[in-house]
Each structure stands twice: as structure tokens, then as C-alpha cells.
Structure 1
Amino acid sequence: MLALKLKAMRVSDPVKGPVEIDDIRHLLRAANVASVDDAVAVLGRYFPRSAADADKQRFLLRHIWPSLTADEETDAARYPVAGD
């Protein structure tokens, strides 16, 4: 699911964009992804061509990365995390 979200990254959509960002944040946490490069590696595992040209994903991930540690409440789906 994370790879699909990273491939599509519909964050510029005025309606779906904020929800898309929240979904990506939650999936990154659930997958224990520790860096932008790790996220691109997940993308590359399922979509090698997309990962080879992942400038869009890298840019957007760098933009949302600081907020990954924030414990903000959202209406986005929560995914189970190993150990919870």
C-alpha cells in the first residue's frame, strides 16, 4: 500500500491532498521507514522505474518528513504497528 501511495502521491489535489499526506505519514510509521531513501527503496521494490526517477517523491517526502514525529490527530486511517 505504501508503494502505491508513493507512486501516486496525489498531494496537489485540493480535496484529497491532505488526506493523502496523512495516509503516507501513517504508512511510513507502520512500515518503520526511517528515511527518505528507505521510502524510495520501498517504492523501488514494487515500481523500479518510478524509483529510478523519484525526484517528485523525494521532494514531497522531505517536505512532510518533519511532521512524521508529530502526534497529531487526523481522520486518516490508523494502521497497526508491530509491537502495539
Structure 2
Amino acid sequence: MSDQYASGQNGPPKEPYARARRAMPRGGSNALLSFETLAERMEVPKRTVLDNYRAWDIPVVRISDRILRVRERDFEAWIDARTE
């Protein structure tokens, strides 16, 4: 088996995810936000977000049967669409 780094000239990449980070669309990250975080950012009680996320059409990601999250970039796009 050949070792691609044996010569020492071509070491492992210093930042393996740099290209993926640059390719990410503008306006937020793929970080998953909890409803508590959404409530803090919106400055409303968590219960308000839980009761209204469907009516407000906030795009959610289902992690399991009981756990929902919202992508940060989707949340920012949702906010931008309602504040313009």
C-alpha cells in the first residue's frame, strides 16, 4: 500500500472542510436551531413558537418522532421574507 504523504511534500489538507464552507449559500449556516433558540432570537416565549410554528410556516427538520429543529439559513430566510 502506498503512502501518499510519505514524501512529506503533500501533507494532509490543513482545512479539510474549507471548500464546503465556501460553497455554502449565503444567509446562514446549516446549523440546526432548537425552538428555544428561535424563541430567544424572536424575543417571544418558547411556548408561542411551539404553538404557532405550523401556522407561521416555519420550515422544520424532523430529527426523530419528538425532536424538531430548524436550519439556521431557513430561519433567516423566513425572517427576511416577513420583514421586507
TM (norm. structure 1) is: 0.23
Which of the two has greater strand per residue?
2
Return the index of the structure with the highest Cα Rg.
2
Q: Tell me which of the two structures has the higher relative contact order, counting C-alpha pairs closer than 8 angstroms and 6 or more residues apart.
A: 1
TM (norm. structure 2) is: 0.23
Which of the two has greater helix per residue?
1
